[in-house]
């Protein structure tokens, strides 16, 4: 699993997660809701703001 360097922090302001649903739900007139599996794996998107201690750390991080 990927790991951020120790000189990088994630700011909580602006942090968010969302994912595509892998189940299609259809409401029925009577009885339980009909469900259909669309994907076996779910793609998760994460939005975050990264905080670097200094300008030198941004240059060092982008060369990797």
Cα dihedral sign for 53, 57, 59, 61?
A: negative
Q: Is residue 50 part of a domain?
A: yes
Q: Is residue 30 part of a domain?
A: no
Helix-, strand-, coil-residue percentages of the chain, each rounded to 5: 10, 45, 40
- pLDDT for position 12: 82
Digit-coded pLDDT (tens) for 2-22 = 788 888 888 888 788 888 788
To the question of pTM greater than 0.75 for the whole model, the response is no
Domain count, the chain: 1
Pick from 13, 1, 3: nearest CA to 51: 13
Domain that holds residue 60: 1-20+38-64
Q: What is the mean pLDDT of the chain?
A: 81
Q: Per-residue pLDDT for 61 more than 80?
A: no
């Amino acid at each position: 699993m990927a790991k951020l360097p120790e000189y990088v922090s994630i700011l909580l302001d602006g942090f968010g997660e969302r994912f595509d649903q892998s189940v299609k739900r259809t409401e029925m007139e009577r009885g339980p809701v009909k469900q259909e599996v669309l994907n076996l794996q779910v793609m998760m998107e994460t939005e975050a703001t990264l905080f670097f201690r200094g300008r030198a750390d941004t240059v060092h991080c982008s060369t990797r």
